[in-house]
Amino acid sequence: MASVETLEPLAGYRPCVGVFLLNDQGQVLVGQRRDMAADAWQMPQGGIDPPETPVEAGLREMLEEIGTDRALLLRQSGVWRSYELPESLARKSWRGRYAGQTQNWLAYRFTGSDADIRLDTAHPEFSDWRWAPPETIPDLIVPFKRDVYVSVVAEFRPLWV
């Protein structure tokens, strides 16, 4: 299945948030996944824990993945973007409970300094991080997430152009 956009979370998919964190130069934070041998960059993302709102989950995920939540919300996407995980990853991650993820994306302006970004969190997910021009992000991403990232970059383009 290619990515799908809906107004509500897609049933059978894990509800998640994605964090589009912009710095003052109009670049977006991406992290290299620790659990992948090859290049596998992504923006911070993760599950929504009931009764969290997507905005609350976005701030929590930033703290958990990059050690800071120094950011101001710019925009919350009006759609949920869903994608399937490759079957081997879905079995490993969720024992077949979900077919993939359904994500609500949030754009934030980073208000801290690079020194605030720390990957040595309680449960590290990234081995490295960098700021990247938004247009280049879809090329950095694993193929099964690429359609989602193309759509997110297009939606949030007015925030840095």
Domains of the chain, residue spans: 4-159
pLDDT tens digits, 54-72: 999 999 999 999 999 999 9
Mean pLDDT of 37-54: 92
pTM (2 d.p.): 0.93
Tokens linked to 29:
């934070």
Quickly name the fold that domain 4-159 has.
Answer: Nucleoside Triphosphate Pyrophosphohydrolase (3.90.79)
